[in-house]
Structures are given as structure tokens and as C-alpha cells.
Copies of this chain bind each other. A is one copy, B any other.
């Protein structure tokens, strides 16, 4: 009976543990709804210790979201640099779905609170990326239905993965079946849209 089992989860550096706990809190009860005291309590630290590892609550949010935003930026850069074609779009859908699966909680956090946190640099960067995505989508062909299809496909996928965590109890584990079904549905939604990028 080991008192402190590594238990597979993160018994890593304190700052990593704090980041992980903060991510859980931010995505479930919101940034404004999360106090440094709560994070400290869950982590078993004092509030002062949290502020020792992260200069401020906003710095903690930045550290939490930055890896996801970086990856989103990477995924989009690849897509935007490719010639518009059905293949490049298929590749984008696949990597976008992969991004969603890997960073669900981060996506949930800045998607749901992007408006409230727009003056936080990392969130502003995320919002700019999404706005660019939206623009690129509805540039040449800007029919309302096209916009809606992209919005429902990408936003709906993002929403379902995260809000599904709330309503569907334990389902939606990140296995390959989920990934493939997502790619299939999203691709189908975009099938009527010409590859205008």
C-alpha cells in the first residue's frame, strides 16, 4: 500500500501539475469563476505558492493555453500555405480534428470565453487565428450556407467534444473510432463546398 502512487497521472514538476489543474478549472467553471485559492486547494499548495510558479493569474492562463494556440497556428499555417485542393482540405480537416482531440479542454476554454478574455494576449492571438480561419473560409465564396457549413462543422465538432464531456457522461474517449467518425462527418459537411480554402 504505497501512500503516494504515481498512478499514471502527472506527478511531475509542480508547475506542470498546477497548469493541469488550472486547465481543468478554467474549462469547467471558467476563468473568472476560478480563484487562485481554488487551484491552490486542489493542488494542495498555498495561494502564495501558485503565485510563485506563475507571476499572475493571467500568466497561468497564458501558460495553459499557449501550447494549444501554437499547434492551431501550425495547423493553419500548413493549410494556408498549400494550394487549394480537395486533398489539402482533407489534410486540414484531419489535422484540425487531431488538434481538437488533443487539446479539447484548451479549445473549450478559449472558445467559450474568447469574448470575455479578448484583452489577454494569448486569447487575442487565438481569436485572431479563428477570425482568419473564418475569413479564409468565406473569402471568395461567401454564401451564407457555406459559412454556416464551416461553422457547424468545425464549431460543432469542437463543441461536441467538450460539451459532450458535460452531458454524455463517460463516452467520447479519444480513440481512433472517434477520430475517424469525426473526420467523416466534417468532411461530409464540407463536401458541397468547393475548395476555395
Copies of the polypeptide in the assembly: 2
Q: Does A12 contact B (CB under 8 A)?
A: no
Interface of A is mostly: helix
* A→B interface (CB under 8 Å): 28-33, 111-116, 127, 130-131, 134, 144-145, 147-149, 151-153, 155-160, 163-164, 166-168, 171, 177-178, 181-182, 184-186, 189
Give complex CA distance A55, B188 in Å: 49
Select A185's contact among B127, B145, B163, B182, beta carbons within 8 Å.
Answer: B145
Chain B residue numbers with a CB within 8 Å of A182 are 148
Looking at A115, A177, A181, A186, the one whose CB has the most chain B CB atoms below 10 A away is A115
